[in-house]
C-alpha cells in the first residue's frame, strides 16, 4: 500500500456527474466509526469487523467506507492482492462514488474518501486515466472547503494536506507552476497547523493526520525530531500495527536515537508472518548494524529484490551501503535510481 498517494490529487482536473442515490449514514454506525477505525489502525481486524457488523446494519455509504478500510488494512498492499479481495474493495468504493445526494459535510467527506482511495488504488496500478478521473472528483469536493475558516475536524485533514502539498510541489519543481495555475493557492504553514489540529481530534481522521505529519517531517521537511514526536504518538496509541513501525524506526535512526523500542519493533517486523513486513525488518536490521561488514546490507538487498522489491527500502539500504566504502559511485547511482522521498536517514 502506498499510504502517501493523496498528494497526487493535485495533478488532476475535473469533469464529472453522479448517477445514484442511496442512504449515506445512520446514527449507530456514525457513533461507532471512531471505535471501529481505532481497532483497524491497531491491527485488530476481526474485532473491527465484529463491531462494524453490529452497529452498521444498514446499507449506507458510511458502512461501505468502513468495510473498505477494513479490507485495505487487512490486505496490505491491497492493489497487489488477488481478485477475490480487490473486487469487493473496488465495488464498495465505487458504490460510494456514485452517490448523488450529499446533505452534510460529513457525507461529502465520506464520498471524498472513496474518491481518494480509488485514485490511490489506480495510481498504484499505473492506470493513470482512472486515477485522474477520481482525483478530479476529489478536487471538486475539496475546492469549496478551502475558503472556509471553521472546518470540521474531518475536513481539517483534507484542507491541511491540500495546503501543504500545493506549496510543496510549487517549490519543488518549476515545471509544476503551469499545472498548479488551475488550482486554488495553498499555504504550507497553514496546512501543517491544520494537520496538527486534526491529529489531536477524537475523530476518524486522527490516525491519518499523525501518519502524514510524521511522514512529512521525516521525508519531505528533513525534521526528523518532529517526525519522531508524531511517530511516538502513533505507536503508543496503536501499538499492534506494524505499518506504523516504519515511521518510528526511521525517525529514530535519523535522530541517532535507536533504543530498545526501536530494536524491538525491528524484530517484530522481521519475525512477521507476512513477507511484506519481513522486508522492512530485514532492511532496518541491516541499517542499524554498525559493523564494517557490508554483507548484511547486501543480503537485505537480495531479500527485498527476491520478494517483490521496494524502491524506498532499496534506497535506504544503498544509502547506508554508500557510507561503508570510499568507492561508492555505483551505490550513489543506485540511490538516485531508487529514490522515492527527498530525505532518508538524515538528521535535522
Query: Are 292 and 324 spatial neighbours (Cβ–Cβ below 8 Å)?
Result: yes
Q: How confident is the model at residue 170 (pLDDT cuts 50, 70, 90)?
A: confident
Beta bridge partners of 20: 99
State how far Cα 210 lies from the chain centre: 10
Judge whether residue 185 has pLDDT over 60: yes
The answer, yes or no, to whether residue 348 has pLDDT greater than 60, is no
Give me the phi and psi of 184, to 5 degrees please: -65, 140
Ranges of H-type helices in 56-152: 61-74, 83-97, 105-124, 128-142
Question: Which range scores top for mean pLDDT: 21-35, 78-92, 321-335?
Answer: 78-92
pLDDT of residue 256: 93
Domain that holds residue 327: 241-348
Of the candidates 94, 92, 93, 87, which has an alpha carbon nearest to the alpha carbon of residue 19?
Answer: 94
**Per the domain annotation, does 312 fall within a domain?**
yes
Q: How far apart are CA 153 and CA 176, in angstroms?
A: 29
The pLDDT of residue 204 is above 80: yes
Whether the predicted pLDDT of 220 surpasses 90: yes
DSSP state of 68: H
In a domain, 13, yes or no: no
332 in Cβ contact with 321 (< 8 Å): no
What pLDDT does 100 receive?
A: 79
Residue 292 lies in a domain: yes
State the Cα–Cα distance between residues 242 and 190, nearest whole angstrom: 30
DSSP H or E run through 267: helix 260-270
H-type alpha helices, 173-223: 176-180, 188-199, 206-215
- Residue 293 maps to a domain: yes
Asked if residue 86 belongs to a domain, the reply is: no
102 or 56, which is more confident? 56
Q: How many CB atoms lie within 10 A of CB 233?
A: 19
Per the CB < 8 A criterion, the answer to whether 332 and 322 are in contact is yes
pLDDT of 278-328, one tens digit each? 999 999 999 999 888 899 999 999 999 999 999 999 999 999 999 888 778
List CB contacts of 61: < 8 A, sequence separation 6 or more: 22, 23, 24, 25, 95, 96, 99, 107, 110, 111, 114
Residue 7 has pLDDT above 50, yes or no: no
Residue 115 has a pLDDT of 95
How many structural domains is the chain composed of? Answer: 1
What value does the mean pLDDT take over residues 186-213? 95
What is the average pLDDT score of the chain? 88
Task: Quickly state the pLDDT bin for 3 (edges 50, 70, 90).
Answer: very low
Mean pLDDT on 192-201: 96
Is 97 domain-assigned?
no
Has residue 24 got a pLDDT over 80? no
pLDDT tens, 119-145?
Answer: 999 999 999 999 989 999 999 999 888
Q: What percent of the chain has pLDDT over 90?
A: 72
SS3 content of the chain, % helix, strand, coil (to 5): 70, 0, 30
pTM: 0.87
Specify the pLDDT at position 169: 83
Name which of 19-23, 237-241, 279-283 the model is least confident about.
19-23
Phi-psi region of 274 (alpha: psi -120 to 50; beta: other; left: phi over 0): beta
Rg of the chain in Å (alpha carbons): 20
In a domain, 325, yes or no: yes
Where in 198-305 does DSSP place strands (E)? none
**Does the residue 228 lie in any domain?**
no
- What's the confidence (pLDDT) of residue 178? 62
Amino acid at each position: 500500500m502506498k499510504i502517501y498517494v493523496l498528494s497526487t490529487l493535485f495533478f488532476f482536473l475535473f469533469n464529472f456527474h453522479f448517477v445514484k442515490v442511496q442512504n449515506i449514514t445512520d446514527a449507530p454506525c456514525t457513533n461507532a466509526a471512531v471505535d471501529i477505525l481505532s481497532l483497524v489502525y491497531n491491527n485488530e481486524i476481526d474485532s473491527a469487523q465484529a463491531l462494524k457488523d453490529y452497529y452498521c446494519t444498514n446499507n449506507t455509504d458510511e458502512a461501505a467506507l468502513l468495510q473498505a478500510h477494513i479490507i485495505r488494512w487487512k490486505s496490505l498492499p491491497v492493489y497487489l492482492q488477488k481478485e477475490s479481495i480487490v473486487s469487493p474493495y473496488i465495488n464498495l468504493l465505487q458504490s460510494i462514488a456514485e452517490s448523488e445526494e450529499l446533505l452534510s459535510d460529513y457525507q461529502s467527506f465520506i464520498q471524498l474518501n472513496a474518491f481518494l482511495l480509488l485514485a490511490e488504488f489506480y495510481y498504484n496500478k499505473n492506470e493513470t486515466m482512472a486515477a485522474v478521473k477520481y482525483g478530479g472528483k476529489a478536487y471538486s469536493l475539496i475546492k469549496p472547503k478551502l475558503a472556509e475558516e471553521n472546518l470540521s475536524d474531518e475536513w481539517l485533514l483534507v484542507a491541511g494536506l491540500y495546503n501543504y502539498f500545493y506549496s510543496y510541489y510549487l517549490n519543488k519543481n518549476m515545471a509544476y507552476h503551469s499545472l498548479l495555475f488551475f488550482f486554488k493557492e495553498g499555504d504550507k504553514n497553514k496546512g501543517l497547523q491544520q494537520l496538527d489540529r486534526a491529529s489531536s481530534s477524537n475523530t476518524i481522521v486522527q490516525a491519518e493526520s499523525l501518519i502524514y505529519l510524521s511522514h512529512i517531517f521525516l521525508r519531505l521537511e528533513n525534521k526528523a525530531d518532529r517526525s519522531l514526536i508524531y511517530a511516538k504518538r502513533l505507536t503508543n496509541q496503536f501499538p499492534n500495527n506494524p505499518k506504523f513501525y516504519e515511521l518510528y524506526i526511521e525517525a529514530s535512526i535519523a535522530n541517532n536515537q535507536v533504543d530498545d523500542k526501536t530494536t524491538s519493533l525491528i524484530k517484530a517486523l522481521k519475525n512477521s508472518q507476512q513477507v511484506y513486513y519481513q522486508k522492512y525488518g530485514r532492511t532496518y536490521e541491516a541499517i542499524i548494524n554498525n559493523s564494517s561488514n557490508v554483507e548484511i546490507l547486501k543480503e537485505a538487498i537480495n531479500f527485498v529484490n527476491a520478494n517483490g522489491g521496494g524502491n524506498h527500502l532499496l534506497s535506504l539500504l544503498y544509502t547506508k551501503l554508500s557510507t561503508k566504502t570510499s568507492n561508492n559511485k555505483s551505490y550513489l547511482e543506485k540511490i538516485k535510481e531508487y529514490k522515492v522521498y527527498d530525505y532518508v536517514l538524515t538528521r535535522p
